[in-house]
Structure 1
Amino acid sequence: MSVRDLAVVTRFGGRLYWRDKVALSTSVALSLGLGIGMPLLMDRLGQGDPEFLVGTHVGVLVMILTIATFNQIAVTFTARRDQLLLKRMRATGLGDREILGGEIGNLVVQTTLLAAVVSVALYALTGLPVPRNPLLYLAAVVAGTAVLCLLGTAFTAAVPRTEVAGVMAMPFFLLAGVASGGFGPLLELLPGWVGAVLGLLPTEAVADLARTAYAADGSLAGDLRAAAVPVLVLAGWAAFGLLATARWFRWEPRRS
């Protein structure tokens, strides 16, 4: 893989990202509105004890990461595939890894910045505490966005055309919100086996890492032990995303 080509595609994706009105209204505006608005509302309603705010923040964070990565990259790659832009990029001599990796890198950067803005705004406007282990919190966001981008890339193989990409990706967003508590304590109303299954989602692994980073009592050794299982879950999903992308990703629209 050429680092120079990867950087070129990443910059190209960034320019397109900030010129895309759909991306700005969904990934950016919706993420900022939801990520800041929901915890702020809970704080203003008098539910702003730190533990409750951390739970709300982590749940909503997982939802905005899903919107800005899995959903966004599914729409982006499907649109570029249908517009034959991916095919043209391959014709320039860029490798497949640079094309896909550049866009994934772009969304990892953009989404990490969105998460940082949301977090800093909540630290300033609410009683949300700063993570006890900020490096673990950052690692959870970066690793989670990368894995979700990989899975969104693989998911495009199942999307027949651009118009339905967002709709088809929405169930994953809803499952992520239920599993992480972003929609409230809905999981408590469901059978135990449902919670066990949803706990295997990559978004729940991200939530577990973020909760560990915010935990008031802990040590480096304790954090490493708590992070072991979520990291393995993310690694497993990353491997699946890479294999599925290599096997099924389509560079051209289906022929009718």
Structure 2
Amino acid sequence: MSARDLAVVARFDSRLFWRDKTALTTSVGLFVLLGIGLPLMMDRVGPEGPKFLLDIHLGVLVTFLTVATFSQIATTLTARRDQLLLKRMRTTGLSDRDILGGEVGNLVIQATLLTGVVSVALYALTGLTMPRDPLLYLVFVVAGSAVLCLLGAAFTAVIPRTEVATVMTMPFFFLAGIGAGGFGPMLEMLPGWAGTVLDLLPTAAVVEAAQVAYAADGTFLGDLGAAAVPALKLVVWAAIGLLAVRRWFRWETRRS
């Protein structure tokens, strides 16, 4: 993988991203408006306190992080595959890793910046405090975004055409939202085994690590120990995503 080629592809993908009105509406517009708006509204009307506000923030954040990464890359790569753009990119001398890595890198950067905008806005507008360990928070946002992008790229193998890409990614969006608490206390209405299963999702790992980063007390070694389990979850999902991409990712539509 060439760092120069990777940067070129990421820059190319970034230009296309900011010219895509649909992407700007879903990945950026909804992320920022609801990521700020819902916790802000709950802070104004809810008397539950700072822990409740943090839970709402992380739940909504991770829910829309799924849209900005998993859903976005699945839709984008499916469209480019069906338009034979991916096939043409392979003839330019770029490696497969550069092509996919550039798109993953672009969306990870976008998602991390959006997370920063939402978090800083809530620090200024609500009673939400900054994380005690901001580096841990940042590392898991970046890592979680990258893993979700890998899984989204792998998911394109089961998407038959561009028109149904967004619809087919919705179940994962809902599962992530329910597991992270982005849709409210819906998890409490489900049987116990459902919570155990949803806790295995990569989005749950991001929330778990973020809660460690926001905890009022802790030490560096203690944070590392507490973050070990969510880190392991992300490593496992990353391996699954990489293997699935290598085995099933398609560079052109079967109709061609």
Provide TM-score, normalisation by structure 2. 0.98
Identity %: 71
SS at match of 1:41: helix
Paired AA for residue 31 in structure 1? F
**Structure 1, gaps ≥5 residues long:** none
Paired AA for residue 103 in structure 1? E
| Contact in 2 for aligned 1:137/1:209 (Cα 8 Å) | yes
Deviation (angstroms), 1:133: 0.5
Q: CA RMSD in A?
A: 0.9
Equivalents in 1 of 2:199, 2:48: separation in Å?
26
Partner residue in 2 for 1:154: 154
Equivalents in 2 of 1:237, 1:126: separation in Å?
34
| Contact in 2 for aligned 1:69/1:148 (Cα 8 Å) | yes
Partner residue in 2 for 1:236: 236
| Contact in 2 for aligned 1:48/1:126 (Cα 8 Å) | no
Equivalents in 2 of 1:228, 1:48: separation in Å?
30
Paired AA for residue 177 in structure 1? G
**40-49 or 217-226, which deviates more:** 40-49
Paired AA for residue 99 in structure 2? I
Is 1:129 aligned to residue 129 of structure 2? yes
Partner residue in 2 for 1:216: 216
Equivalents in 2 of 1:51, 1:100: separation in Å?
38
SS at match of 1:47: coil
Q: Deviation per CA, 1:149-175, whole angstroms, max 9, x where unpaired?
A: 000000000000001000000100100
Partner residue in 2 for 1:84: 84
Q: How many residues align?
A: 256
Equivalents in 2 of 1:222, 1:58: separation in Å?
21
| Contact in 2 for aligned 1:9/1:99 (Cα 8 Å) | yes
- Aligned positions of 1:1-256 closer than 5 A: 1-47=1-47, 49-255=49-255
SS at match of 1:40: helix
SS at match of 1:30: helix
Equivalents in 2 of 1:47, 1:196: separation in Å?
29
Q: Deviation per CA, 1:14-44, whole angstroms, max 9, x where unpaired?
A: 0000000010000000101110011000011
| Contact in 2 for aligned 1:180/1:204 (Cα 8 Å) | yes
Paired AA for residue 139 in structure 2? A
Paired AA for residue 45 in structure 1? V
Equivalents in 2 of 1:2, 1:46: separation in Å?
50
| Contact in 2 for aligned 1:212/1:227 (Cα 8 Å) | yes
Paired AA for residue 108 in structure 1? V
Q: Deviation per CA, 1:209-240, whole angstroms, max 9, x where unpaired?
A: 11111111211121111101100000000000
Deviation (angstroms), 1:204: 0.3
Q: Deviation per CA, 1:187-216, whole angstroms, max 9, x where unpaired?
A: 111111110011100110011011111111
**Structure 2, gaps ≥5 residues long:** none
Provide TM-score, normalisation by structure 1. 0.98
Equivalents in 1 of 2:51, 2:39: separation in Å?
12
Equivalents in 2 of 1:125, 1:29: separation in Å?
19
Equivalents in 2 of 1:125, 1:115: separation in Å?
15
Equivalents in 2 of 1:172, 1:36: separation in Å?
22
Paired AA for residue 104 in structure 1? V
Deviation (angstroms), 1:255: 2.2
Deviation (angstroms), 1:48: 6.1
Deviation (angstroms), 1:47: 3.2
Counterparts in 2 of 1:46 and 1:255: CA distance versus 1, 3 Å: closer
Equivalents in 2 of 1:112, 1:34: separation in Å?
16
Paired AA for residue 112 in structure 1? T
SS at match of 2:46: helix
Paired AA for residue 192 in structure 1? G
